[in-house]
Amino acid sequence: MSALATRPSPGLFARLGLMRPDLAIRAALAHLVLIVGALFVLLPFVWMLLTSIRKPEAVFTAGFNPIPDEFHGVENYSHALSQSPLLQFMGNGVIVCAAILALQLIFALPAAYALAKLNFRARPLVFALVLLGLTVPQQVTALPIYMGLAGIGMLDTYFALMLPFSLSVFAIFLFRQFFKSFPDEIIQAARLDGFTEFEILIRIMVPSARPAIAAFAVFSITSHWNDLYWPLVVTTSPEHATPPLGMMIFRDQETGSNYGALMAGATIITAPLVIAFLIAQRQFVRGITMTGVK
């Protein structure tokens, strides 16, 4: 986050001195507006956490008494974990996200290198297809891929959850842009040293792309950890449910009876990404907003 922060404005305000009362009022007003906005942003998080440690009976009077009198967190969280296989949903999420990311990198990196640095006849065509692919949302191809998976009896498997995302045209586009700016001289020198193209890719290009790979990894993991549409379409049993789908299953089980456990479940499911974001803010912001370049 700090990379995004600009240097403190040294302009006119500072030169005139911050102690001028109108400026102090202005700053106070700005903080006021930002704090009100921040309260709106934080409201569901705070309410989720408070409810997750509240006694079930106290939920009905919580409007009058927001801070729980008694800590009931242990019961709620253990209820959430025992009522529904939340940990299994999260495990599924890890498996699916890791596999998707690995496949995306395996397919995209060589293709991106080829598009950026190697001359071959089909290059303009492949690049045009990549650009075209950037505009197509996953929901457009969902029906035929679903039918294909149904045809070969592969619905409700990890394979089905990964298949449509095994190729990311966005990854190809991103890495191609990154490789494009890599100096040709180094590649030529490597060739003269007897490196094969494969060695150049693995030992020179991929290590050089580490920042882009990290940013893409954040983007890929957050989008697939949070994706609901495709898991909802292909998964029918809780056995392969990813976290968002698991959340829906859990919610439908609880149907209004135990909000404490429900909020504990929501906390457990959102925690991994929120913690990761708090630890690596800069990488997260970079990775997620990268989609804007798309």
Partner 1 sequence: MAVLAAPGAVPIRRLSSQSRVEAFTGQMFALPALLLIVGLLLVPILVVAVLGFSDYQLGAIEWSWIGLGNYERMLDDPVFWRSIGNTFLYVAVVVPGSVLSALVVAILVNDRKHFKSVYQIIYFLPVTTTLIAMSVVWHFVLNPQLGPIAGLLRALGLPPVDLFGDLDLVLIALSLIGIWQLVGFNMVLFLAGLTAIPRDLYDAAAIDGADHPWDRFARVTWPMLGPTTVFVVVTTTITAFRVFDTVAVITRGGPIGRSEVMLYAIYLEGFQYFEIGYASALTIVFLVVVVALAVLQAFFLDRKVHY
Q: Which of residues 112-171 bind partner 1 (CB under 8 A)?
A: 113-115, 118-123, 126, 129-130, 132-137, 139-147, 150, 163-164, 166-167, 169
- Nearer to partner 1 among residue 119 and residue 181 (C-beta): 119
CB-neighbour burial class of residue 160 (10 A; exposed 0-12, middle 13-18, buried 19+): buried
Smallest gap from Cβ 108 to partner 1, in A, equals: 7
DSSP state of 164: G
- Nearer to partner 1 among residue 70 and residue 185 (C-beta): 185
Cα within 13 Å of Cα(75), Cβ side: 11
Cβ atoms of 62 and 259 within 8 Å: the answer is: no
Distance in angstroms (rounded) separating the CA atoms of residues 260 and 253: 14
Smallest gap from Cβ 75 to partner 1, in A, equals: 18
Smallest gap from Cβ 1 to partner 1, in A, equals: 5
Cα within 13 Å of Cα(276), Cβ side: 16
- Nearer to partner 1 among residue 102 and residue 129 (C-beta): 129
7-26 binders of partner 1 (CB under 8 A): 8-12, 26
Instruction: Give me the 214-233 binding string for partner 1, x by CB under 8 A, dash otherwise.
Output: --------x--xx-xx--xx
236-265 binders of partner 1 (CB under 8 A): 243-245, 247-248, 251, 259, 262-263, 265
Q: Which residue stretch of 67-75, 76-84, 207-215, 284-292 sits at the interface with partner 1 (rule: CB under 8 A)?
A: 284-292
Cβ atoms of 148 and 163 within 8 Å: the answer is: no
**Contact pick of 38, 74, 87, 102 for partner 1 (by CB under 8 A):** 38
Instruction: Give me the 88-107 binding string for partner 1, x by CB under 8 A, dash otherwise.
Output: -------------------x
Smallest gap from Cβ 83 to partner 1, in A, equals: 15
167-206 binders of partner 1 (CB under 8 A): 167, 169, 172, 184-185, 188-189, 191-192, 197-198, 201
Distance in angstroms (rounded) separating the CA atoms of residues 258 and 78: 13
CB-neighbour burial class of residue 202 (10 A; exposed 0-12, middle 13-18, buried 19+): middle
Smallest gap from Cβ 78 to partner 1, in A, equals: 19
Using left for φ > 0, alpha for ψ between -120 and 50, and beta otherwise, residue 17 falls in left
CB-neighbour burial class of residue 96 (10 A; exposed 0-12, middle 13-18, buried 19+): buried
59-78 binders of partner 1 (CB under 8 A): 59-60, 62-64, 66
Distance in angstroms (rounded) separating the CA atoms of residues 291 and 286: 9
Distance in angstroms (rounded) separating the CA atoms of residues 17 and 13: 6
Smallest gap from Cβ 26 to partner 1, in A, equals: 7
